[in-house]
Amino acid sequence: MAQHPLHLRYPQRRLRPYIRCFWLGRESHQDSFDIIPDGCIDLVLCTTSQEQTFCFGTSSRFLTVPISPNVRYLGIRFAPGQARHFINTPAHLLTDNHMELFGALKQRLSPVFAQPDAAQALALLEEICLNWLQRNPPQAMRLDQIIKGLSQYSALPLAVFCEQMGIGQRQLQRLCKEWIGLSPKQYQRIARANQALHFLQKGEDTPLAQIALASGYADQSHMQREVKWCFGQTPLSLMHSE
């Protein structure tokens, strides 16, 4: 969901297969925030005049959204397809959308709102997630291998990918929509753009045309369009960003 949270806490090893990071946006004076398509669902605790907890699905495109200034936002960013271990809402209902969280997990998150210290609030979020998984052991799905494969072979035609994975294209489409909130092609598109971003941020000496080919793009102009779609910036501006 969020592109540049103010502070990140990366999870300990037990949680890494399921959670990308815990993030904090405390009392921001900005009135907008950049959102990138990443296939992730975020659980967001928002402290206003009342305690509110929302599930934000992945975006299908880059966009800038308004936020309330001087409000503390705490978030859990789940790895693609892994929010299922914590929330019951199908991912496709959250794509480009958000819903209020209800149920047992929301009750367990309540003490986080009362924690004034930012670092301790993030640590408490991590502890709650650990305890949750101990009480609700994760169940592996074939989906997990599919997500890994789509990321690793983002330039592979879907027909070839399905043949190698031994899965039908309709079944692949259904699994990705239900648990990630995106089509397989959309997820491959995001994975390829992130591969390009990795190369772009690695150094300024590599020609853009070479980065495009290494990332699975047909040419530099193809990469230019796709990176701008995903991150809202050109490859050249991302290469020179800190």
pLDDT digits (tens, 9 = 90+) for 65-123: 887 777 888 999 999 999 999 999 999 999 999 999 999 999 999 999 989 888 899 99
Within-domain flag for 1: no
Residues 132-159 pLDDT 10s: 999 999 999 999 999 999 999 999 999 9
Give the percent of the chain with pLDDT over 70. 94
Say if residues 124 and 115 touch (Cβ distance below 8 Å). Answer: yes
List the structure tokens of 104.
């047992």
Q: State whether the Cα torsion 81-9-152-206 is positive or negative.
A: positive
Same domain for 128 and 57, yes or no, is yes
Q: Could you write out the three-class secondary structure of 106-142?
A: HHHHHHHHCCCCHHHHHHHHHHHHHHHHHHCCCCCCH
Q: Structural domain of residue 199, as residue ranges?
A: 142-240
For residues 223 and 212, what is the distance between their CA atoms, to the nearest angstrom?
Answer: 6
Residues 169-222 pLDDT 10s: 999 999 999 999 999 999 999 999 999 999 998 867 889 999 999 999 999 999
User: pLDDT at residue 6 above 70?
Assistant: no
Give the mean pLDDT of 208-237: 95
Same domain for 147 and 123, yes or no, is no
Nearest to 132 by CA among 103, 164, 170: 103
pLDDT at 49: 65
Same domain for 127 and 163, yes or no, is no
List the structure tokens of 174.
């259904």
**Angle between helices 158-165 and 184-202 in degrees, nearest 10:** 100
Same domain for 129 and 170, yes or no, is no
Q: Taking phi first (over 0 means left), then psi (-120 to 50 degrees means alpha), and beta for anything else, what does residue 205 get? A: alpha
pLDDT at 116: 87
User: pLDDT at residue 17 above 90?
Assistant: yes
Helix, strand, or coil here: 44? strand
In this structure, what DSSP letter does residue 92 have?
Answer: G
Within-domain flag for 191: yes
For residues 72 and 226, what is the distance between their CA atoms, to the nearest angstrom?
Answer: 33
Give the mean pLDDT of 46-53: 82
Give the mean pLDDT of 11-23: 97
User: For all residues of the chain together, what is the average pLDDT?
Assistant: 91
Among residues 88, 111, 135, which one ends one of the domains? Answer: 135
Domains held by the chain: number: 2
pLDDT at 28: 52
Within-domain flag for 2: no
User: pLDDT at residue 26 above 60?
Assistant: no
Report the CATH number at residue 174.
1.10.10.60
For residues 138 and 134, what is the distance between their CA atoms, to the nearest angstrom?
Answer: 9
Q: Tokens 């997500």 correspond to what residue?
A: 147
Backbone angles phi, psi at 27, to 5 degrees: 50, 50
Same domain for 89 and 188, yes or no, is no
